Amino acid sequence: MSIGGLAEDRAYGNWHEMLERERGRDDRVDLVTVATPNATHFEITKAFLAAGFHVLCEKPMTMTVSEGEEIVKLAKSSGRICAVNYGYSGYSLVRHMKAMIARGDLGRIRLVMVEFAHGQHADAGDADNPRVRWRYDPAQAGVSAQFADCGIHALHMVSFVTGQEVERLSADTVSCITSRELEDDAMVNFRMTGGIVGRLWTSSVAIGRQHGLTLQVFGEKGGLRWAQEQPNQLFWMPLNQRLQVIERGEADLSPEADRTTRVTIGHAEGMPLAFANIYGDLAEAIRAEKEGRAVDPAANLYPRAEDGLRSMAAVFAVAASGRADGQWTDARPPMFR
Amino acid sequence: MSIGGLAEDRAYGNWHEMLERERGRDDRVDLVTVATPNATHFEITKAFLAAGFHVLCEKPMTMTVSEGEEIVKLAKSSGRICAVNYGYSGYSLVRHMKAMIARGDLGRIRLVMVEFAHGQHADAGDADNPRVRWRYDPAQAGVSAQFADCGIHALHMVSFVTGQEVERLSADTVSCITSRELEDDAMVNFRMTGGIVGRLWTSSVAIGRQHGLTLQVFGEKGGLRWAQEQPNQLFWMPLNQRLQVIERGEADLSPEADRTTRVTIGHAEGMPLAFANIYGDLAEAIRAEKEGRAVDPAANLYPRAEDGLRSMAAVFAVAASGRADGQWTDARPPMFR
Amino acid sequence: MSIGGLAEDRAYGNWHEMLERERGRDDRVDLVTVATPNATHFEITKAFLAAGFHVLCEKPMTMTVSEGEEIVKLAKSSGRICAVNYGYSGYSLVRHMKAMIARGDLGRIRLVMVEFAHGQHADAGDADNPRVRWRYDPAQAGVSAQFADCGIHALHMVSFVTGQEVERLSADTVSCITSRELEDDAMVNFRMTGGIVGRLWTSSVAIGRQHGLTLQVFGEKGGLRWAQEQPNQLFWMPLNQRLQVIERGEADLSPEADRTTRVTIGHAEGMPLAFANIYGDLAEAIRAEKEGRAVDPAANLYPRAEDGLRSMAAVFAVAASGRADGQWTDARPPMFR
Amino acid sequence: MSIGGLAEDRAYGNWHEMLERERGRDDRVDLVTVATPNATHFEITKAFLAAGFHVLCEKPMTMTVSEGEEIVKLAKSSGRICAVNYGYSGYSLVRHMKAMIARGDLGRIRLVMVEFAHGQHADAGDADNPRVRWRYDPAQAGVSAQFADCGIHALHMVSFVTGQEVERLSADTVSCITSRELEDDAMVNFRMTGGIVGRLWTSSVAIGRQHGLTLQVFGEKGGLRWAQEQPNQLFWMPLNQRLQVIERGEADLSPEADRTTRVTIGHAEGMPLAFANIYGDLAEAIRAEKEGRAVDPAANLYPRAEDGLRSMAAVFAVAASGRADGQWTDARPPMFR
């Protein structure tokens, strides 16, 4: 008999039980997904990694930078996969952006402008709604609300497509609904390795925006624009030429795009398949390990513990800079300085 | 005989000659437009105001804040109109935004996000092109390039639609093309009277953006979005409702919109008519004065010397803040502090 | 051991073998999907229905109208589900259109305009490409090419959302690439029960259109527009009001929309999940039967053998009308006249 | 003294008076614009042409085909300009479409799809509104309503951009609001010289469409799409390449586009300037005549009496075909057969 498709003897009551019983099985699971409340991610991820399981942790990976460093070290020493679910990086055309930049289509990248703005928490009348309130309460949410919730997705996307890392940042954090302790809107200016200038806007009071994760990358030789709400088109303008519309599913895109394309051009693929692509990457990595072969480079793109750690360092840097009137702040985890 | 439609005896060789000869005529011109090189705006505007002419000056009105204060005082003492051509404020739906905000449709305004980004100066190979180079040379352009050229349009729009003024700001100014002394990209965070939080991005290296003046205003009760490149639609989302498309030419818009609507709904009006609306405001003001009656309030919207002055104060504040790592800086002209 | 996730002993060499062996099992499959070459659909569907299996047949269900009638009768007499995979009808907002029309939001429907235009076969140099050529060859494709391939999807959508059926039609069929025997472009005017006027354009030579399935419905009290390439928005204009954007995932949509919504507003769902919704309908129907309860009406929406039959009647009517200079032709299957 | 900018002695009481007095002046007007009620166009146009004036007549030029032929002959024999104001052909990017097609960018044109659909007359409650009712009354409007009002604009556009003429057509005309005698919706299939297949949809009950004049042209080597509501972009897809966005004001467009471009790229120009371009063409033609030189070919594009005549022939053909169940009907004026 099965429970929701799960064999009865493997439907565990809690993660401790799962860990104990799975580690003893010959057919133990390959990959454990950690999708529990945020504050428990660190403990569970650590335990399963230590026990030799591959792990995919929901974001945020940890609540502090030092926990993040501990996970990174453990992932390294254990030789296990520790992935973090920045699922938007799974979109086919986001991967094509990365490929275009890596192969030099844009030349040196000068500037990125990224937004993740929505209006889901714009109703001041919701201030007592527990589903909203906890997010802006430091006791429950930590040092940051909107940046920690949405901003780090956007910041990860920038690193993902450019292949560069954030070094320092200056943040303007505000509570547009003034009863909130934590920010519901933030503007973050930053600098990356490779000399890239970055700007990131995130908001939860932007009424009229649904889920506006938008990424613009400007290089010496061209500019790219992609928006999560219309993910099957990528707008590309080569310097001194015309705007072109790259369609998901076009012939002759990059291997990274081809690998993540399921249906033909003109048929939208959405967010669930973007997230599935992350799982596809992990399946390939696990299979390659079992088969003793190299991982397909076009699949070797899942976000890693290092990304989870860098996000946490950025969250603390944003909070510190925001409190200090936008003072420029080191955004790197200590272990990467 | 006429020269280009101008009577031969009124086609003057220079502004001095024009001033001398027009002031002596019974049928002297009502309004003088100053569209000469930037560094001469102050001198010419001053001379014609002093001689009792109404003036419409192209932006920037002056090159320094103190010159701007002098013009403001002179305009006041002379009783003449001194308008500044922030022409984008002439768009019918921009005026409707102002009307919606003034009548309370959005409640208190919390946040504005405005962009003016293009890629016209993104070609590093243009560095020696004199038509581009002067803009980034302090000897010719003053303390700011992209913000002074485009940013102040965007900042004026924010004041225009909200009816509030910028008080202080923090700027991140960069030269993405590193041979430039002045900035080709800037992010400005600001605070306005009325407690409004503002963010403004301007760039001349954003390849793929044509002339991206975009304005988003978020209040307690709804959000508005308008883009200069698609100026005949205004996107309006009331809190907890759906996005609606307001069309230029709809029945029952505001008097400000109705007055500036020439053709029926579904037929685009563009930038030349937006600029014409500024002239229409001035014609109404001049006519009302001659007829000894009050100006139609729906036409009393042309940008004034005070706006030109505030822009100049913002330019110097952005330049100073940019040099000081984004330090928050008073953006008000001394005479308004 | 398993082959591609299938138990080894159930990976059959052909459909005859599958039929023989599955019918004998206690754990026989619930549903058989027929995704074989078009000309075999009839035979296989018939055989599995007759053997008591539920069937989901890819379109076209049959190659002739009389075969279609045979399947309809067999489905009825067998009591088995015979579904046809018009997968575009699985989109959440298409189902919401149907719900809005059914509950009267648009009043009586006056007019529908539907398009399914792409440019995939616009290259005359492809005339000898066997992957394209067979489609325009009557010996292989039957009486119609583009209408039979794409047009019937569009026509089904019209019936699906309005709940009405096509009665008669007039077609203008052309071969824009003149070496083709069958049409690559067709315009079909039609009349439906309920007095609806219909227009349908389909093309395979429309360079610049990717997969332009677009549906516009105009009633006494409002108009709706939906496009397959941007399936997460539905444009709704109530009479004498403003255009509104209905988003997939909004609160308080219809039960039909809610049931087919997986991820939150602002996150695209694409075509694979639309098709999955058809399977979801079938799972519900099969489960309800096993549990002896009524099917959830919000799931009882999968296309049926009757739809497959009506499509085939329309294909023959279009071909006949096209040959007869657009003469109005009965589009109903004989058994429904 | 002047009346609305017009010299007092030239503000005439009616057209007869104007004709008599202007013909006697040395400084007689160059061009007479006929913007009177439709039924008077023929008489007035004829009178002014005969008296040696150039004429720009609003559409429809006449109420019958034979009147149209009379005007064409008179325009020819008089040597005067007789233009018809199909003002949408004045848009800069429409002229660029024409130039691209003429120089062969699309190869042979196969297919055009044009729409002119709005929802302005969709309210059945307006049936007694005299401003709407007359349009659907044969006694006042003639043989056609929506096709004669909007359809002929669309049909003219097709001829304008392709340089080909309609030869025959088949129409499906319907009154969606059943109390109307004349059609409020029509679908017209047609064939043009050069072997072009055409489809045209026009409607006044399409709620949600504002003023949807949209033109799609498909050739052997590419496809173009342009929409009147977003007139500053032209969508161009060369065969087997990507969709490109052509912007009004781009460098290196055609002379036809350059001549009609006033403001820089990224600044919309709208309908009033499109109409102004027609007047610009006429000014150039009149000036060239006075100066005894050839007209600039990039300006020699204003619609002519022949276009007005062809429209009238199409109106009668649509009405006849509509009454005869879509029978294919010769759409050419007798004098051009």
User: Each residue of D247-265: pLDDT tens digit?
Assistant: 999 999 999 999 999 999 9
Quick check: C212 pLDDT over 90?
no
Q: Tell if the CB–CB gap between B244 and C247 is shorter than 8 Å.
A: no
The pLDDT score that the predictor gives to residue C6 is: 85
**Taking CA atoms, what residue in D is nearest to A253?**
D242
pLDDT one digit per residue (tens) for chain B, 337 residues: 566 778 889 999 999 999 999 999 999 999 999 999 999 999 999 999 999 999 999 999 999 999 999 999 999 999 999 999 999 999 999 999 999 999 999 999 999 999 999 999 999 998 788 889 999 999 999 999 999 999 999 999 999 999 999 999 999 999 999 999 999 999 999 999 999 999 999 999 999 998 889 999 999 999 999 999 999 999 999 999 999 999 999 999 999 999 999 999 999 999 999 999 999 999 999 999 999 999 999 999 999 999 999 999 999 999 999 999 999 999 999 999 9
d(CA A184, CA A148): 10
* Angle (CA) A259 A260 A263, round 5°: 110
Q: Are strands A166-174 and A329-330 parallel, antiparallel or unpaired?
A: antiparallel
Helical ranges in A196-304 per DSSP H: 255-259, 271-291
> What are residue B255's phi and psi, to 5 degrees?
-60, -35
Q: Which residues of B127-155 are buried (b: 16+ CB within 10 A; e: fewer)?
A: eeeeebbebbeeeebbbbbbbbbbbbbbb
pTM score: 0.96
For residue D213, give the chain B residue with the closest CA: B266
Phi, psi of A140, deg, nearest 5:
-100, -35
Q: Across chain C, what does the average pLDDT equal? A: 96
Beta-carbon contacts of C129 under 8 Å, excluding residues fewer than 6 positions away, are none
- CB-based contact, A160 to chain B, within 8 Å: no
Q: What is the pLDDT of residue C278?
A: 97
Q: Which of C212, C262, C268 shows the shortest C-beta gap to A268?
A: C268
Give the contacts of B291 (CB within 8 A, at least 6 positions apart): none
- Is the separation of the CB atoms in C229 and C205 below 8 Å? no
Decide if A228 touches C, using CB distance below 8 A.
yes
Chain D residues whose CB is inside 8 A of the B263 CB are 270-272
Determine the residue of chain D that is closest to A248 in CA distance.
D242
- The counts of H helices and E strands in chain C are 11, 14
Nearest-by-CA chain A residue for D248: A242
A:C CB pairs within 8 Å: 69
Residue C172 pLDDT grade (very low, low, confident, very high; cuts 50, 70, 90): very high
In this prediction, residues D111-126 reach a mean pLDDT of: 96
The alpha-carbon gap from C164 to the nearest alpha carbon of chain B, in Å, equals 29
Strand partners, A109: A219
Which SS3 state, helix, strand or coil, does residue B332 take? coil
DSSP A193: G
D:87-116 residues touching chain C, CB 8 A cutoff:
110-111, 113
Handedness of CA B219, B223, B226, B232 (dihedral sign): negative
CB contact under 8 A, D218 and C123: no
For C112, nearest residue in chain D (alpha carbons):
D206
* D211 has a chain B CB within 8 A of its CB: yes
Nearest to C267 among A211, A232, A267 (CB): A211
Among chain D residues, the shortest Cα distance to B265 is held by D210
Decide if B210 contacts D250 (C-beta within 8 A). Answer: no
Whether the Cβ atoms of residue C222 and residue C232 lie closer than 8 Å to each other: no
Phi, psi of B18 (to 5 degrees): -60, -45
CB pairs under 8 A between A and D: 20
Question: What gap in Å lies between CA A303 and CA A157, rounded to an integer?
Answer: 10
Please give the DSSP secondary-structure letter assigned to residue C296: P
* Stretch D171-199: mean pLDDT: 97
Contact of C132 with chain D, judged by CB distance below 8 Å, is answered with: no
* pLDDT at residue B212, as a whole number: 82
- The count of C-alpha atoms lying within 13 angstroms of the C-alpha of D48, restricted to the half-sphere facing its C-beta, is 27
Q: What Å distances lie between residue C233 and A152, B122, C102, C270, D8, CA to CA?
A: 27, 35, 19, 12, 57
The whole-chain average pLDDT of chain D stands at 96
Higher-scoring residue by pLDDT: C154, B131:
C154
* H-run or E-run covering A33: strand A31-34
Judged against a pLDDT cut of 80, whether residue D3 lies above it is answered with no
Half-sphere exposure of A205 (CA within 13 A, CB side): 33
Taking residue C217's Cβ as centre, other Cβ atoms within 10 Å add up to 28
Chain C neighbors (3+ CB pairs < 8 Å): A, B, D
Distance from CA of A243 to the nearest CA of D (A): 5
Name which of A243, A250, A253 to mutate to probe chain D: the one with the most chain D Cβ atoms within 10 A of its Cβ.
A243
Determine contact, residues D96/D231, Cβ cutoff 8 Å: no
Q: Please, how many CA atoms are within 13 Å of residue D126, restricted to the half-sphere of its CB? A: 19
pLDDT grade for C234, boundaries at 50, 70 and 90: very high
Chains in contact with D, where contact means 3 or more Cβ–Cβ distances below 8 Å, are A, B, C
Q: What angle do CA A92, A98, A102 make, to 5 degrees?
A: 145
Can you tell me the mean pLDDT for C229-243? 96
Q: Nearest by CB to B123, which of A124, A189, A240?
A: A240
Q: What is the pLDDT of residue C1?
A: 52
Q: Which alpha helices (DSSP H) does C41-151 contain, by range? A: 41-50, 65-78, 92-102, 130-133, 138-141, 146
Tens digit of each residue's pLDDT (9 = 90 or more) over B82-133: 999 999 999 999 999 999 999 999 999 999 999 999 999 999 998 788 889 9
Beta-carbon separation of B245 and C246 below 8 A:
no
Task: Answer whether D216's CB lies under 8 Å from D234's CB.
Answer: no
> In angstroms, rounded to a whole number, what is the distance separating the alpha carbons of residues A71 and A50?
10
Provide Rg for chain D, Cα atoms: 20
Q: How far is CA C123 from CA C176, C201, D216, D245, in A?
A: 11, 20, 18, 21
Tell me the C-alpha to C-alpha distance, in Å, between residue D174 and each of C191, D119, D120. Answer: 11, 15, 16
C191's tokens: 């009349």
User: pLDDT tens for residues D71-108?
Assistant: 999 999 999 999 999 999 999 999 999 999 999 999 99
Per-residue pLDDT reduced to its tens digit, C77-105: 999 999 999 999 999 999 999 999 999 99
Indicate the helix (H) or strand (E) that contains A149: none
Digit-coded pLDDT (tens) for A102-135: 999 999 999 999 999 999 999 999 878 888 999 9
Using a CB-CB cut-off of 8 Å, the residues of chain D touching B267 are: 211, 228, 270-271
> From CA B335, how far away is CA C36, in angstroms rounded?
81
Q: Using a CB–CB cutoff of 8 Å, tell me whether C207 touches chain A.
A: no
Chain C positions touching A210 (Cβ under 8 A) are 247, 265-266
The residue of chain C with its CA nearest to that of D328 is C325
Rounded Cα distance between A238 and A223, Å, is 6
List chain A residues with CB under 8 Å of D250: 242
Q: Which residues of A touch B224 (CB under 8 A)?
A: 208
Backbone angles phi and psi of D286, in degrees to 5: -70, -40
CB contact under 8 A, D199 and C189: no
Contact B81, B332 (CB under 8 A): no
**Under an 8 A CB cutoff, do D185 and C328 touch?**
no
The verdict on a CB contact (< 8 Å) between C208 and D122 is no
Closest CA of chain D from C125, distance in Å: 10
Q: Are D69 and D61 in contact (CB under 8 A)?
A: no
Q: Inform me whether the C-beta atom of residue D242 falls under 8 Å from chain A C-beta atoms.
A: yes
3-state secondary structure at position B145: coil
* Element of type H or E holding D330: strand D329-330
In angstroms, the CA D50 to CA D53 distance is 7
The answer to whether the Cβ–Cβ distance between D111 and C203 falls below 8 Å is yes
Show residues of chain C in contact with D328, CB under 8 Å.
Answer: 325-326
Instruction: Name the H helices within D27-170.
Output: 41-50, 65-78, 92-102, 130-133, 138-141, 146, 152-162
Token pair in block for residue A314: 């950025």
Residue D1 has pLDDT above 70, yes or no: no
Predicted pLDDT at A1: 52
**Which of B105, B230, B235, B245 should one mutate to test binding to chain C, selecting the residue with the greatest count of C CBs within 10 A?**
B245
The Cβ of residue C195 has, within 10 Å, a number of other Cβ atoms equal to 12
Residues of D in Cβ contact (< 8 Å) with A100: none
pLDDT at C150 over 90: yes
* Confidence band, pLDDT 50/70/90 cuts, at residue C265: very high
What's the mean pLDDT in A258-276?
Answer: 94
